[in-house]
Structure 1
Amino acid sequence: MKRTSLHFASWLLTFSVLFYNTSAFAKQYEIDKPNEWVIHHNVKHPQKSDLEKVRDGTLYLLLDNQIYVPNRQKQQRYTRLAMKAINQSGVDYISQLSLDFDPSYESLILNSLTIIRNNERIDKLSSAKMSVIQGEPELANRIYNGSLSLNIIIDDMRSGDTLDYSYTITGSNPVYANKFSTRKTLNWSVPVVQQKMRVLWGKKTPLHINTINGATDIREASNKYGTDYSITLFEAPLLEQNSQTPTWYDPYTQVYFSEFDDWGQVVNWAHPLYQSAIETPNSIVDIAEGIKSNYTKTSDKIAAALRFSQDEIRYLGLEMGTNSHQPTPASETLSLRYGDCKDKTVLLISLLKAMDIEAFPALVDTEETKRLKELPPSASVFNHVIVTLKQNGKRYWLDPTVSYQRGTLEYLAQPDYGYALIIDDQNEAILTSMSQKPVHTNISVEDNFFIAEKASEPSRFETKYTYAEFEAINRRSNIASSGLNSVAKSYFEYYQGFLNGLSINEVMLTSEQEKTGKLVTRESYLISEF
């Protein structure tokens, strides 16, 4: 994910949460002053003018993020933003806020809500309209995290006003077993006058601090709460990214705070989560026995088990609370016939286990990909999990969330997310490269023109597309969702753009190459004006 501009929404903490009745929403937050450990900073105005680089009509005057991690009590995260609307676009952009939280393990306190106009502070806590609503930011991806949002509509907001607000969220997802990690971006492609980042560390265990893509001055002090780490930046230089930069590369400077010493600790954290869900009851064994009765080769059994987890279990993520990382038991996923990446992973591993085939979960990050190798150890950096195994000395990466995948194990399209952390407590816990040599050319095209002997007769144009790897998967998905007729029509309209007098000679035909997993489409047209 490339950061092209700084949006206030990126500062609002998003968490997974169980569904609640609307009548209960009103009691899910409080209004109170910040805790005494919070340091208040004055809002500063820019010394240099970069208003021509401002986006969305909003100049960020202060971005303040403070985190207190006590030894025994719950974590507290204080966030404060001061943003100036330099025009009407800015008014529209910042006059409505959404603060996301998870009341199953978090509490939200709105600390302040003010408008600064002509150096006068106007309190909006009593006049702003506030309501807690059900938020589902990943609904389009079939992921239900049940998040709640405190929606705030600010009245009497005018061009030139500065919105200054703050809030505190107490609590953290218990699935992390009280292990702390966080990260912060330190430079942006839009003007930010002042940034503050602070971690107040009250635990006895060491806190590891790393910066990526540059260095920053981190001040360390001691107080009654513990060790105080702080970062202050004033009018940091803007960073503009070239449009030709690879999608996996992120040039922005980031600071990481993590309680994890190494990737082995991440494996130790994840291993019991997955082992508790991998199981082989009768329902799993019955499916495995059915596969074994149809296939004799181990590689074919693996491919059949993968297809079952892909095609027979629909993708649906109910990632509320600890379910953000805790997989559902395999038998329950099989009964429900739906699950997310970790549920499908556990089911596939359980099916393979029932056939005496050893496989492991592999944690990956679909956004960081190759850059994951540069990042410090942390459990929170991963956003996806797949299955890995070795067969005849070769490692395979199997993604059970992929649909419409065909072919034998040797020809399966394998994902390449850069690096993966294999959850196997018996081997060395390191990041493993997923890089591999492609088996096929992704797309090959064969065009044939049959020229008529007489100018009055139409010529014939035939084209054959052979899709392999993920191109075949994507094309099958397109045909399944849109229908073959619709796809054929779009192809016909495409060729009409540069072939005069085109008409359809034969309907589009598709065929499958069972072993290689390739998809072949054939089209035949007549050209009256060749």
Structure 2
Amino acid sequence: MKWMHLQLKLQAVFLFFVSCFAAAEEYQVAPAANWVKHHELLTPEIPRDQIRDGTFYLMLDTQLQVSEQAPQQRFNRTVMQAVNQSGVDYISQLNIDFDPNYQFLTLNSLGIIRDGQYIDKLNSAELQVLQRETDLASRIYNGTLSLNVIIDDMRVMDILDYSYTVSGSNPVYQHFSTKRTLNWSVPIVQQFMRVQWQKPTPLYINFINGESPVTKTKLDTGFDYQISQHNEPTLSSASEVPHWYSPYKEVYFSEVNNWQEVVNWSLPLYQSAIEVSPAIETIARQIKFQHADLESQIVAALRFSQDEVRYLGLEMGTNSHQPTPASETLALRYGDCKDKTVLLISLLKALGVEAHPALVNTEDRKRTASLPVSPSLFDHVIVTLEHQGKRYWLDPTISYQRGDLENLAQPNYDVALIIKQGETGFTDMFTEPALKRIQVSDNYQIPEGIDEPVSFSTQYKYGDFEAISRRSSIAKNSLKSIEDDYREYYQDTYKGLKTAKPMLVESPEDTGQLITNEHYTIDDFWRPEGNDFQNDFYASEIQNSVYKPEQRERNNAPMWFRYPNNIETTIKVTFT
């Protein structure tokens, strides 16, 4: 086993060097293709009171060529001016991302305009291909590379003008789709969006939060669609808004026009990976032997996919959306959301339970249902099933989840697209939590003497995802560290507070709650007020759950608020 482990490490090192060597061949410097349309640059007066990061954007130009015969081409040109030293720092280094598994990068132009004169920087700039794993902290490896460009001799008021073309698209997508934001929080002089559509199938164009004129020109095959904007008004979003809210205008181009087409595209990806192999049947038999009723078996299958298979995403190329076969994920004992979803569905199938993948968007949430149809809208997948007339949502990527089926904390991303034959739209995900999020019981034992220490005990019952979060925090930070944090929290209110006995933690398997029991003594509890003594008692969890908005005038922007947020506090004061 040691020799095999060493071999695997040597293979990984070899592949690393091969990939580094290959990276140098995965971009070139060449002029833009003939199909690309050139736009003349405008240089108006700089609106200095609206500039951020010291950068004035003069042009954003995106052009795509899509045909059945050749790889997709995406041309991008950006022109921006450094109006101060902050702008010089901001624009003098670029990172152009591409996926070498299915894309090829061509740097078309790179130069600066100084006092009206163009200075070519293609030969003097430093170019280097870097591995760019932006989701590494989330344990996701996507294989993206970045052409790092460092421009020499950049000065204040210089204009950077660069363009590049990315050829190729992820082959996992059978249909074309793209989107573009059309108004921003900073001024942009010129914006261009163009799709040269050379396919016989129709291309659907939809807008969100406003529209812009679209010029349509007939081609031999298909059409040329162009959007041109000049000095579009800036727009700023309100503060304290939900994650899903966006006031910005966007245009969506898509080859699909209904969600059933997205379901039909996704179905074979998951069906080909769901399997009841001998190894999966063995796990299912063990679950049946240990758990008599079906509800417990469902939870045990979920727990296995959560706890026995670690989260790790190797999402290079088609693996971004193509799940790994269930038996392979079981053997590897790691996988991302779609791999763990397929494994859980396979285990449930071996237990005689029908389950399906459900695509969700963790950022856009309920806004997803109102967006134009596109297979690329989703960033997460979970499992859904029906049992005794009730729908359940199960997420195999969650750690530290406990509770039986009725008390299981169910994820809520507002809407989900269930990948099942015949599904044509979204399903509402909201499920009323079985337990309160937080239940607090504060007990104060007041002695007869004013100067005697007060005994204070508190019990917290965390339910739903709050229990999962607290259980995870204890596992990562140690119980002692959590205990110290809790004591310091109370000492902000009671300066004379001391720990009377160690904190006790309970975790009932049936409810999935996390229960903490704390015991303290408080010296100098009472404050003199004239001839009397007094103190205040706070329902702090309820008090802290409500906040005063910083921005009062919101222009119809929604304000974020946790929902549902069930908190119960009981304060009991006993006088001797």
Same fold (TM over 0.5): yes
Any idea what SS the aligned residue of 1:331 has? helix
User: Aligned with 2:493: secondary structure?
Assistant: coil
Quote the offset at 1:103 in angstroms: 1.7
Q: Does 1:159 align with 2:156?
A: yes
Q: Report the counterpart of residue 8 of structure 1 in structure 2.
A: none
Residues 416-475 of structure 1, C-alpha deviation per residue, up to 9 Å, x if partnerless? 1121111111x3321111122222221121111112223443211111111111100000
SS in 2 for 1:382: coil
Name which of 89, 105, 129 aligns with 2:126.
129
**Counterpart mapping for 1:212-231 below 5 A:** 212-223=208-219, 226-231=222-227
What pairs up with 1:88-487 in 2 under 5 angstroms?
A: 88-177=85-174, 179-223=175-219, 226-425=222-421, 427-487=422-482
SS at match of 1:306: helix
- Post-superposition Cα deviations, 1:214-270, rounded to whole Å, max 9, x if no partner, equal 111111112456411111111111111111322221111111100012111111111
Q: CA deviation at 1:482?
A: 0.5
8 Å Cα contact 1:461-1:524 kept in structure 2? yes
**Residue-pair matches, total:** 511
Question: Please, which moves more after superposition, 441-450 or 305-314?
Answer: 441-450
Is the CA contact 1:104–1:321 (under 8 Å) kept in the aligned structure 2? yes
Describe the SS at the equivalent of 1:21.
helix
- Residue type matched to 2:457 in 1? E
Looking at structure 2, the residues matched to 392 and 203 of structure 1 have their Cα atoms a distance apart, in angstroms, of 47
**Contact 1:372/1:418 (8 A) holds in 2:** no
Asked whether 1:493 is paired with 2:488, we answer yes
Indicate conservation of the 8 Å contact 1:18/1:147, yes or no. no
CA distance in structure 2 between the partners assigned to 1:412 and 1:366 by the alignment: 20
- Higher alpha-carbon deviation: 73-82 or 184-193: 184-193
Contact kept in structure 2, 1:19 and 1:146, CA below 8 Å: no
- In the alignment, the residues of structure 1 paired with residue 244 and residue 438 of structure 2 have an alpha-carbon distance, to the nearest angstrom, of 23
Q: CA deviation at 1:18?
A: 9.7
Q: What is the CA deviation profile of residues 22-56 of structure 1, one whole-angstrom value per residue up to 9, with x for unaligned ones?
A: 22222210000001110011121236x53222111
Q: Aligned partners of 1:117, 1:270: CA distance in 2, in Å?
A: 51
Preserved contact between residue 199 and residue 221 of structure 2 (Cα < 8 Å): no
Give the distance between the partners of 1:465 and 1:163, measured in 2 at CA: 58
Q: Does 1:66 align with 2:63?
A: yes
Q: Which moved more, 1:212-221 or 1:125-134?
A: 212-221
Q: Secondary structure at the match of 2:340?
A: helix
Q: What displacement does 1:205 show?
A: 0.5
CA contact (8 A) 2:384 2:392 kept: yes
Matched position secondary structure for 1:326? coil
The verdict on how the C-alpha distance between 1:20 and 1:58 changes in structure 2, with shifts beyond 3 A counting, is farther
Aligned match of 2:562: none
SS in 2 for 1:22: helix
Report the counterpart of residue 521 of structure 1 in structure 2: 516
Aligned to 1:22: 20
How far apart, CA to CA, are the structure 1 residues paired with 2:243 and 2:177? 25
> Is the CA contact 2:200–2:221 (under 8 Å) kept in the aligned structure 1?
no
Letter in 1 for 2:69: R
Measured on the aligned residues, the alpha-carbon RMSD in Å equals: 1.4
**Fraction of identical pairs, as percent:** 57
Alpha-carbon distance in structure 1 between the residues aligned to 2:299 and 2:313: 24
Q: Which runs of 5+ in 2 are unaligned?
A: 1-14, 526-576
Alpha-carbon contact 2:263-2:423 (below 8 Å) kept: no
Structure 1 counterpart of 2:38 = 40
Distance 1:205 1:119 in 2: 45
- The one-letter code of the counterpart of 1:201 is W
Q: Could you tell which deviates more after superposition, 240-249 or 88-97?
A: 240-249
Letter in 2 for 1:27: E
Once residues 98 and 109 of structure 2 are traced to their aligned partners in structure 1, the CA distance between those partners, rounded to angstroms, is 17
In 2, Cα distance between equivalents of 1:377 and 1:411:
35
Q: How big is the shift at 1:335? A: 0.8
Matched with 2:542 is none
SS at match of 1:174: coil
The answer to whether the Cα contact below 8 Å between 1:18 and 1:146 also exists between their aligned partners in 2 is: no
Please say which structure displays the higher CA radius of gyration: 2
1:7 is aligned to none
- Structure 1 residue runs of 5 or longer lacking an equivalent are 1-16
